[in-house]
A and B are shown apart, each in its own frame.
Chain A
Amino acid sequence: MQFLSYLINGISLGSVYALIALGYTMVYGIAKMLNFAHGDVIMIGSYVVFFTFGTSGMNPILSIVLSMVVCTVLGVVIERVAYRPLREAPSLAVLITAIGVSYLLQQVAQLTWSSNPKSFISVISGIPFLQPLSLFGGQLTISAETIVTIVVCVVIMVALIWFVNNTSAGHAMLAVSEDRGAAQLMGVNVNATISLTFAIGSALAAVAGALLCSSYPTLQPTTGAMPGIKAFVAAVFGGIGSIPGAFLGGILLGIIENLSKAYISTQLSDAIVFLVLIVVLIVKPTGLLGKKVNVKV
């Protein structure tokens, strides 16, 4: 029974990783860059929820929507200001810039809100009809946060896959991710498509932030960094560039992390997560669902 509880909590944590990983994987697939500032967008989103819902008592749903709007704008602005001028630059320059943006966001957050941890009030607790689920005559209790996190993640996943495969904008994303030049020749506006990708990724980051901080209620300027890195691991684990891969990688990573916390060592759990990444990269460099890239001449 305990195992089941660990497993479910692992899936829930993994769902958050999956949501964040989607941002990494979509941006990588379409803009061919690693946006290491993605984790910090989550942190900004969480602060928005903290101040609007936690401090001012705004409606929790409204607060998350507001946070999504703020993150979307932030993501698009970051891309426009920091990454777009480097579109033709070597990928190393873009990578360094992304790390720079990440520190910038953390430092700005620290200056604005100080580095003192704030205790985050679960957004789920603000929605009265959501109650913990008790199973097997009370032997297994699943918190409302856990359930909501998993459900939200699955719904977003399904919606996103539908969007990519069934809308014109989604097709444009697929085309740009395969061949930017050829997509342009089809009439796809590459800059607009990349902006859209950042917008979607950042909106999902806002949701992930609110869910993450509802389950793990400490908020500080570095809150986004570790989940960001782990979600990146999840994206690579599942096969970077692949949307179902991000989902699978995220869930598996969450389960591995939670089970190693429970059965091996709390301190070592992060090390185990990164060990998994190393093993996967050795055994299957393209990740679980990653496609082999054929370079044709």
Chain B
Amino acid sequence: MGEMLSVKNINVFYGSIHAIRDVSFHVNEGEIVTLIGANGAGKTTTMHAISGLLKLQSGEIDYCGQTISKMEAHKIIRLGLAQVPEGRRVFSGLTVQQNLQMGAYVRRDGKEAIQNDFDMVFELLPRLKERRNQPAGTLSGGEQQMLAMGRALMCKPKMLLLDEPSMGLSPLLVKEIFKIIREVNRNGVTVLLVEQNAKMALEIANRAYVLETGTIKMEGEATELANNIEVRKAYLGC
């Protein structure tokens, strides 16, 4: 279990705002690591920095032994590092099927292999199969989240970045989404999960980092943090 992703002392500006200050963390192969924090703590900014949508001011991000912090977003995904963005961002005018097809955009390993993954995604997310010919914009929030995850899985990622998958979903659906995340991880995909729903995130994660106003405030085993007084007060409401 080597280090798959390591973020080293990164600084990111969002316009003139110094959104991320000297943040460092790492994710080992096979783990679920969660980054928890309140609104505006810099979680999404961190995600965008990893996937190449935002440029770093300083610092370095390595993935599978390769420096990716200077790479363009559309090249990073080709290394098997996929992101499910905040707010799902499915292509609402395209059908479910076309959205998944877009997920396989970078693949060049033949129709058959892609078809296999279609079957895999539909097995994992049966609701999508029923709605495969529907425009994605007509799906419910939960279904859109599943589609966004299915779309990311279509590129056969080694690592999945999940940004607030529970946002705006009912508790029941949140449970379902987290079950899926666990299953995806069991199938060998390393997961970095960004969440406001700290309770759920700490339940499924191996390790966790607490992000506060752009800096890492705490880190440790997920179970350890779940029992930490400060974390309980600030993020678990108990």
Interchain CA distance A187-B93 in the complex, whole Å? 19
Cβ-defined contact, B94 with A186, below 8 A:
no
Cβ-defined contact, B53 with A171, below 8 A:
no
- The yes or no answer to B51 lying at the interface (CB within 8 A) is yes
Cβ-defined contact, A172 with B93, below 8 A:
no
Interchain CA distance A296-B74 in the complex, whole Å? 25
Interchain CA distance A174-B87 in the complex, whole Å? 19
* Chain B nearest CB, measured from A162 CB (Å): 15
- Comparing A48-56, A77-85, A117-125, A177-185, the segment that makes contact with chain B is A177-185
- The yes or no answer to B91 lying at the interface (CB within 8 A) is yes
Nearest chain B residue, comparing its CB with the CB of A177: B93
Contact residue among A168, A178, A189, A296 (Cβ-Cβ distance under 8 Å from B87): A296
Q: Mark A162-201, 1 if CB is under 8 A from B, else 0.
A: 0000001001101100110111111111100000000000
Contact residue among B52, B83, B91, B103 (Cβ-Cβ distance under 8 Å from A178): B91
Interchain CA distance A189-B72 in the complex, whole Å? 9
- The yes or no answer to B151 lying at the interface (CB within 8 A) is yes
Nearest chain B residue, comparing its CB with the CB of A291: B93
- Chain B positions within 8 Å of A183 at CB level: 102
- Chain B positions within 8 Å of A171 at CB level: 98, 101-102, 105
Q: A182-B89, A186-B151, A296-B87 are in contact. Are A174 and B94 (CB under 8 A)?
A: yes
Residues 143-163 of B at the A interface (beta carbon under 8 Å): 151-152, 155
Interface size on A, residues (CB 8 A): 20
- The yes or no answer to A116 lying at the interface (CB within 8 A) is no
Q: Mark B88-129, 1 if CB is under 8 A from A, else 0.
A: 011111100010011101100000000000000000000000
Residues 59-102 of B at the A interface (beta carbon under 8 Å): 72-75, 77-78, 82-83, 85, 87, 89-94, 98, 101-102
- The yes or no answer to A2 lying at the interface (CB within 8 A) is no
Cβ-defined contact, A187 with B85, below 8 A:
no
Contact residue among B89, B94, B101, B151 (Cβ-Cβ distance under 8 Å from A181): B89
* Chain B nearest CB, measured from A290 CB (Å): 12
Cβ-defined contact, B74 with A175, below 8 A:
no
- Chain B positions within 8 Å of A188 at CB level: 74, 105
- Chain B positions within 8 Å of A296 at CB level: 87
Interchain CA distance A200-B110 in the complex, whole Å? 28
16 contacts between A and B (CB under 8 A): A171-B98, A172-B105, A175-B94, A175-B102, A175-B105, A178-B92, A182-B85, A182-B89, A182-B91, A183-B102, A184-B74, A185-B51, A185-B152, A186-B103, A188-B74, A291-B93
**Besides the known contacts A179-B91, A187-B106, 16 further A-B residue pairs in the complex with CB atoms under 8 A apart:** A175-B91, A175-B105, A178-B93, A181-B53, A182-B91, A185-B82, A185-B83, A185-B85, A185-B152, A186-B77, A186-B102, A187-B74, A188-B74, A188-B105, A291-B93, A296-B87
In the A-B complex, the 10 residue pairs with the closest CB atoms: A187-B106, A184-B73, A182-B89, A187-B77, A178-B91, A189-B74, A186-B105, A187-B74, A186-B102, A187-B105
